[in-house]
Amino acid sequence: MRENDTPLYEVFLRPRNGLSHRHVGSLHALDDQMAMQNARDLYTRRGEADSIWIVRSADLIASAPEDKETNLSPSDPERKPYRHPTFYVLPKEVENM
């Protein structure tokens, strides 16, 4: 088996409680345990995380760039402006709403 066949993992870190996990990069590892150890050594040498998530890249389901139009444009402010707060005109007297 060549190194090429070693699975790729994506690494997500949560810097501290109260924040979301954020993608930081990827790495190669043979199994989950090794991936976790590599993630710790590679991405958290200075206390960057109090929680690490890893997932096999092959298991990620991603939207296709060519679907961008159909997936995202219905919520475009140009097309459905009434979904956005600034569409609604209020009396001047109402300062903040």
CB of 57 to another protein, least distance (A): 10
Among 14, 15, 24, 40, which residue interacts with another protein (rule: CB under 8 A)?
Answer: 24
CB of 27 to another protein, least distance (A): 6
Token representation of residue 62: 């991603």
Q: How many residues bind another protein (CB under 8 A)?
A: 22
Within a 10 A sphere around the Cβ of 28, how many other Cβ atoms? 15
DSSP states along 10-37: EEEEE-STTS--EEEEEEE-SSHHHHHH
Sites of contact with another protein (CB under 8 A) = 1-4, 6, 8, 24-28, 30-31, 34, 41-43, 45-46, 62, 64-65
